[in-house]
Amino acid sequence: MTARNTVALFDAPMKISPTISCGRIGRATAIAFAKDGARLVVSGRRETEGKALEAELRGLGAEAAFIQADVRRDDEVRELVDQTVGRFGRIDAAVNSAGPAGQRGLVVDQSVESYAATFDTNVLGVLLSLKHELRVMTAQKSGSIVNISSTYGHEGAAGASVYVGSKHAVEGITKSAALEGAVSGVRVNAVAPGPTDTGMLDRFTGNPQNKAALASTVPLGRVGKPDEVAQAIVFLASASASFVTGQVVSVDGGKTAG
């Protein structure tokens, strides 16, 4: 990645608070791109936290802007992409990382509301983001998009069916978009993190005992760090991955190796 590249990090990191600000995948990715010399747009629903991240990225010497958007809204994602192009002229890479953990529960306890609360962001949000990113990148005849899946994007988990279903969809959409983008030289891949030390993991596990139990199921014996996921994202976005498309790269400490 060179200093001339423009990276739009959609749905990056939000809610920066003393306890969770350093643990988030989007924020870690934004910082990794900034250190790599990229010009950045970060986006999310919360303006105060987004502006704080914008300032942090500028403090690292990056040209950075926050644009508020909810990925469930077609008009807001369109505006986000158009404003990014208006500001920087092009989009070389985009990362679609917004996502709620969803409500844990058995299939028999699911509802229209619990389905929508997860699928509207994880699936519709990725689809809308891809729609507008591909519109720009296919016209440019270049670009790289990285979606964020999960180990749950290719395995089942009792009590997490809705989240699991949404991440399986992300992987299918990623491969389909890759086939569509390839004729224009646009690459689309996904990173599938295993349990990673963020606020989402804390909410998902509910207490330190559950979190430790989950960590013990990881062959490398611990949960991942957001920066370890970020490094894989930056690789896939970069020219170093120029022959990689339609792939799901696991960053999971070996959790899905067995």
Ligand X SMILES: NC(=O)c1ccc[n+]([C@@H]2O[C@H](COP(=O)([O-])OP(=O)(O)OC[C@H]3O[C@@H](n4cnc5c(N)ncnc54)[C@H](OP(=O)(O)O)[C@@H]3O)[C@@H](O)[C@H]2O)c1
Residue 17 or residue 183: which is nearer to ligand X going by CB? 17
- The residues near 23 (Cβ < 8 Å, ≥ 6 apart) are 197, 198, 199, 226
Which residues are designated catalytic?
A: 163
Report the half-sphere exposure of 41 (CA within 13 A, side-chain side). Answer: 26
Helix (H, G, I), strand (E, B) or coil at 57: helix
Q: How far is the CB of 234 from ligand X (least distance, A)?
A: 15
Which residue's CB comes closest to ligand X? Answer: 99
Helix (H, G, I), strand (E, B) or coil at 197: coil
Q: How far is the CB of 155 from ligand X (least distance, A)?
A: 12
Q: How far is the CB of 130 from ligand X (least distance, A)?
A: 14
Angle between helices 161-182 and 112-119 (to 10 degrees): 40
What letter does residue 131 receive in the DSSP assignment?
A: H
Other Cβ atoms less than 10 A from the Cβ of 127: the count is 17
Residues that bind ligand X (CB under 6 A): 11, 13-15, 24-26, 44-46, 70-72, 97-100, 121, 125, 148, 150, 193, 195-196, 198-201
Residue 2 or residue 210: which is nearer to ligand X going by CB? 210
Residue 72 or residue 175: which is nearer to ligand X going by CB? 72
Q: Which residues, listed in sequence order, are joined to residue 224 by a DSSP beta bridge? A: 196
**Apex CA 112: angle with CA 110 and CA 118, to 5°?**
80
Residue 71 or residue 248: which is nearer to ligand X going by CB? 71
